[in-house]
Amino acid sequence: MALPDLKLYTHPPVHTTTLEQQIGHTPLLSFRRVTAHLPANVAVYAKAEWTNPGGSVKDRAAANIIRQAEKSGDLYPGKIILDSTSGNTGIAYAMLGAAKGYGVKLFVPGSASPERIAILRAYGVDVELTDPLEGSDGAIEAVRELAQAEPERYFYADQYNNPANWGAHYATTGVEIWEQTAGTVTHFVAGLGTSGTLMGTGRRLKDYNPAVQVVSLQPDSPFHGLEGLKHMPTAIRPGIYDPALADRNLEVRTELAYDMARRLAREEGYLVGISAAAAMVGALQVAEEQAQAGLPAVVVTIFPDNAYKYLNAGFWTA
């Protein structure tokens, strides 16, 4: 019996993507129950940023910071990526550092969720925990000391002052929102942490249409439970933050965000993080005001991550 000619059997073409190519192009979510009271001409949407490979919106900024540093020659094999983070940007650095072969050292507030710290350590990151009472500001001060002491060893990514942070959102997030809403977006609402998401996305949307209203969100007091967000009046202000960009600033109470997190999980099926819930509180407030004024609106916000890194928080069982 003659054997088949193996030359006739070829593998079909295989299409793969790199880790960086998976970042961005996140879905735009709609809602049914929490927005049911709004009139038909007022809509609220949110970008599901947990679909990025590192699980958060911070993948965008971290990827661009690393990319720009490689282009400039500030980051090269043998250097260690160094920064302070409340968690999500650090996870993105860890993921990308592992993929590209860079070591990563991070200063993280001791108040960061145990899940975030565990993820960083799973990636093999050198984690330094700072005083939880000092929050992200304490981590910033600690990392600056090391960056100044050993500049030849570390690439200090400096997410709070690096324009590549907001540049990532100018190049991607703002473009995606404009395309996904077919240019109908009227309001953009986002929380303030590093401020990169608001700065970059807001600038891009205003370039498309100067009438788009940019609304910033922050906690209503220095002592809050909105992990990842800053109370700007009492915090170290990021160098990339321009308070003149936002047309309006809203303050969010922690309790309202906790309540919204439960509602989104139990009424919409979206298990989101604390800052995402706070963003929804703000977006709904804007939408309700437009409805009360009899004005149409397309309000878009950002859900930075899902709740998987916050499930130890006690408010879920309330």
Task: Parse the chain into domains and list their residue ranges.
Answer: 20-55+172-317, 58-156
Question: Which secondary structure element, helix H or strand E, spans residue 156, and what is its range?
Answer: strand 154-156
Residue 228: what pLDDT? 82
User: Could you read off the pLDDT of 225-252 as tens digits, one per residue?
Assistant: 888 898 999 988 999 999 999 999 999 9
Q: How buried is residue 122: exposed, middle or buried, by Cβ count under 10 Å (0-12/13-18/19+)?
A: exposed
| Mean pLDDT across the chain | 94
Q: For domain 58-156, give the CATH number.
A: 3.40.50.1100
Residue positions annotated with a catalytic role: 58, 275
Residue 121: what pLDDT? 95
Span 295-307, average pLDDT: 97
Span 186-193, average pLDDT: 97
Report whether pLDDT(7) > 60: no
Q: Same CATH topology for 20-55+172-317 and 58-156?
A: yes
User: Could you read off the pLDDT of 111-163 as tens digits, one per residue?
Assistant: 888 888 999 999 999 999 999 888 888 999 999 999 999 999 999 999 999 99
User: Higher-confidence residue: 53 or 11?
Assistant: 53
Residue 187 CA to residue 112 CA, distance in Å, equals: 31
Residue 87: what pLDDT? 85
Per-residue pLDDT band at 261 (split at 50, 70, 90): very high
207-219 residues labelled b (16+ CB within 10 A) or e (exposed)? eeeeebbbbbbbb
Pick the CATH number of 20-55+172-317 from 3.40.50.2300, 1.10.3470.10, 1.10.8.60, 3.40.50.1100: 3.40.50.1100
Report whether pLDDT(9) > 70: no
User: Could you read off the pLDDT of 73-92 as tens digits, one per residue?
Assistant: 999 999 999 999 988 999 99
